Amino acid sequence: MCQRLGWIASIKTPGVEHSQTGRYTLGMSLAGRSCFLVMLIRTPSTIAYLGIVNNGYSTSFFAPTILKQFGWTSVHAQVMSIPIYVVACVLALLVAYLSDRCRHRYAFAMSGLVIASIGYILLLCQDAISVRVRYLAIYLIIGGGYITQPIVLVWLMNNLSGHYKRSIGAAVQIGFGNCGGIVASNIYLTNEAPTYPVGFGVSLALLWLCGLACTIFYLGLRMENKKREKGGRDYRLELSREDLENLGDDHPRFRFVY
């Protein structure tokens, strides 16, 4: 899917070379705004990934507690967790297809956050709802996470052109973003089981940290595209031919995907 969406980004920028094998490009990859959060325009994608990764890790801590409330045996509880991931997988593939067709990322990422948020809100109020509704909440949380997390990953790769930038950008995003797993492992306190108010509250907050980051990323990309449409980056066309051919997503003709 990453290759497919990357191809979509490339066909929108005719005449732009994406190989990025020159010294100029390597320097931009290591010190530029693309990868190490020097410039705000790409920083939010890494923060967004941290927020949504917490969601994926969190379910492994609270889902067994909810399944046990049905009085099922361990084997039965494991079997009843299968449909949750089947539904989440179908949602992820469906949204990936629609996002590909529409060539749009932001709205689909936010839709997953809304779905997962409903699940957490239900669990924060679980004293007033039945066990079946709590089980439904797991579907919403995992399904929403499976929608947003792949989009956040692909979205950054869509907007990084060149092997150096993509490899370093992906490493930074995944390396820093997986710190969300450290958060998840420390917020579901044993003495708060099975309601986990701190765990559900922090997870909900991190979802909307992801939502805020996605919104900033979306607005930043739109602003940059508009600036390029008005010729605000055309001064880069004065670079040498070798450097110009290796600009990748810094080329004035490159248009970001949002």
Q: How many domains does one find in the chain?
A: 1
Widest Cα–Cα separation across the chain: 71
Query: Could you tell me if residue 12 is inside a domain?
Result: no
Q: Is residue 83 part of a domain?
A: yes
How much is the pLDDT for 41?
59
CATH number at residue 201: 1.20.1250.20
CA atoms within 13 A on the CB side of 42: 29
Contact 147, 96 (CB under 8 A): no
Domain that holds residue 170: 43-250
* Residue 95 pLDDT: 96
Burial class (CB in 10 A: 0-12, 13-18, 19+), 8: middle
Whether 158 is covered by a domain: the verdict is yes
pLDDT single digits (tens) 104-154:
999 999 999 999 999 999 999 988 999 999 999 999 999 999 999 999 999
Share of the chain above pLDDT 70, in %: 84
What per-residue string of b and e applies to 207-245 under the rule 16 or more CB within 10 Å gives b? bebbbebbbbbbebbeebeeebeeeebeeeeeeeeebbb
Whether residue 234 lies inside any domain: the answer is: yes
Q: Regarding predicted confidence, which is higher, 167 or 41?
A: 167
Distance, CA of 163 to CA of 169 (rounded, Å): 10
Domain assignment present for residue 181? The answer is: yes
Q: How big is the CA angle at 135 (ends 153 and 129), to the nearest 5 degrees?
A: 120
Q: Which of 211, 216, 206 is nearest to 51 (CA)?
A: 206
Residue 114, in any domain of the structure: yes
Provide the CA 110 distance to its chain's centre, in angstroms. Answer: 10
- Note whether 153 and 1 are within 8 A (CB): no
pTM of the prediction? Answer: 0.83
pLDDT tens, position by position, 152-176: 999 998 888 877 778 888 888 899 8
Domain-located, residue 87: yes
Residue pair 257/9 in contact by the 8 Å Cβ criterion: yes
Residue among 202, 201, 214 nearest 149 (CA): 214
Question: For the chain, how are helix, strand and coil distributed in percent, rounded to 5?
Answer: 75, 0, 25
Q: Is residue 10 part of a domain?
A: no
156, 37 contact by CB (below 8 A): no
